[in-house]
Structure 1
Amino acid sequence: MKYLMLVLCLALTSCKTEKKPKPETIAEKQKNNQNEYGISPSAMWKDYTESNPRAENEQIPESDFFHNNREDANRLAELTLKGKKKASSGLYRLYKQYNVDLPSVGAIQIITDFDGKAKAIIKNVSVDTIPFNKISKEYAELDMGTDIEPLKKWKKAHWDFFENFLKESGEKPTEEMLIVCVRFEKVWPK
C-alpha cells in the first residue's frame, strides 16, 4: 500500500509540469521597471556591484528610510526611486545631540521603504548647513520632489517635524535653526 501511495503521489506531481519562467537579467528587470524591488538592501547592493565592478570591493553602505512613519517613508522612497526627490534635510542640532557625524560628499546609502525593502541607492553630491529661513525654493523642490509650492510645503513639513523632535528636550524651533542640506543623485537602479 505504501508503494501504491508513493507511485500515485509521483504520478500526480509529475503531471504538474508548469513552465518556470527563466530568471531575468538585471537589465531586463530595469527595462520592465521591476523596481517594486521589494528586496533586501544586501540583494540590491549585490545587483549594483554586479553591474558596477568598481564597487564590488566596497562594503555594503548604510540603509535607512526617510521620515519617521510608514506613509511618509514609503512616499519619499518612491519619489527617490522615480528621481523626483534629490535632497534631504536634517536638523543640525540633532546631529550634535546624538553625536552623529554629518553626512559627507560621496557617501552612498541604500534608501528603503518603512519595512526595510530596498528601493534605491543614492550618492551625496553636496552637504551644506543653512539656516531654516535661508532655504531656497530650488532646494525645497529637490527635497520635496514637487514644483508645486515647494518652499511653502518644505517649511510647513520640516517645521512640524523638527518641532516634534525639539519638544522632547523642551526646545522650540526657530527661523535661524541650522539645517543640514544634503543633495544626492540616484545611482541605482539606473
Structure 2
Amino acid sequence: MTIEQYWEGFIELFPEYQNKTYEAWSFGVDEDKLATLVRKGEKTATTSGYSSYRVENEKLPQVGEVSIVLNKAGEPQCIIEITHIYQVPFNEVSERHAYLEGEGDKSLNYWKKAHIAFFEPYYQSLGLNFDESEIMVCEEFKVLYV
C-alpha cells in the first residue's frame, strides 16, 4: 500500500483530518522495531537534538502535527499525532520520558546509553560535538490509526 493510499484510508475514518498536512518518515535506528513499538502503543515518545534542526535547516516539531510512521522498506505502519513537546538538556531527561520511549528495559539508564550511542556519531556527522548538556527536543505522541 502506498503512503497516499494509507492516508486516504485514514481520512475515510477520520474526515476531520482531511485538511491536515503530514510527513512520512521512519525512526533513525532500527526502523522496523521502533515502528512496531509505536503500533503496539509501547513507544509514545521520541527525542531529537535541538542543534540538528538548525544544521539540517528543518523546522521544530509542533503539537498537533501528524505523521505516517514507515518501516525500513518505506511502508506505512501507523499514523501519529504530537501531543506534547518540551526542550530539556540531555542530562535532565526524565525517567518518565525514557519509559515513554518504550525501548529496552524502559529505564533512564538504558535510554541514556542508547541515545549517547546514537547522538555522538550523528552529531559528529553534522560537524557538531555532542555532550550531555545538549538541548533535546522531547516529543510525546498518540497513535491515531494502524
TM-score by length of 1: 0.72
The alignment covers a number of residue pairs equal to 146
- Superimposed CA distance per residue, residues 19-68 of structure 1 (whole angstroms, 9 cap, x where no aligned partner): xxxxxxxxxxxxxxxxxxxx322121111101112223444x11000014
> Which residue identity is paired with 1:118?
P
Aligned alpha-carbon RMSD (Å): 1.5
Segments ≥4 residues shifted beyond 6 Å: none
Task: Kindly indicate which of the two structures has a greater share of residues assigned to strand.
Answer: 2
Alignment map for 1:42-57 (pairs within 5 Å): 42-57=4-19
Structure 1: give runs of 5+ residues left out of the alignment.
1-38
Alignment map for 1:84-99 (pairs within 5 Å): 84-99=42-57
Alignment map for 1:1-190 (pairs within 5 Å): 39-59=1-21, 61-68=22-29, 72-145=30-103, 148-189=105-146
Structure 2: give runs of 5+ residues left out of the alignment.
none
Work out which of the two has the higher radius of gyration on C-alpha atoms and give 1 or 2: 1
Q: How far did residue 181 of structure 1 move?
A: 0.4
The CA distance in 2 between the partners of 1:170 and 1:47, in whole Å, is 41
Q: How far did residue 187 of structure 1 move?
A: 0.6
